[in-house]
Structure 1
């Protein structure tokens, strides 16, 4: 079963929605990097765009956490590399927040 053909208006609406989601995710990453928001606030958000971010991408947006450290955190907490924010369980969220607050 293939993707149903979209009308021009449907395609434009989908592109607009995707662009807005990318902008929102980028704004959240910048806010995390600059310390304007916290990881707990982001995880508590009910935004669809944020819920579709990978946990790895979210971790890499934090100050002093790069690709290597984010990978090590995911391995240590037994979180899949491809896990999205919405896919985190309650215990995974708790361990993630505890792990990052204890390191600082």
Structure 2
């Protein structure tokens, strides 16, 4: 099992979750974070730390978010690892809660 970063992280990219990950399973893109399913140990420490409520266990993914499992898997192989807290984008709070952000994902 793994945890999955979903739609609401796009353009928010809070890194509170990264700081608590004991196995450095997060990877960073221009405006989104992903979790490598091969590294994730299913500890759930990241879930309560996410201010955007964008992280779900793969078995608990809402139907409309299931495609993010593949997105996390693919992009974690392309993007650099992140293991430290960073400041979120200046407009992150404005994007938090905006639905259907997949077209805004920068790869």
Structure with greater proportional helix content: 1
Q: Which has the larger radius of gyration?
A: 1
TM-score interval, smaller chain? under 0.3
Which TM-score applies when normalising by structure 1? 0.28
* Structure having greater relative contact order (Cα 8 Å, sep ≥ 6): 2
Which TM-score applies when normalising by structure 2? 0.27
Structure with greater proportional strand content: 2
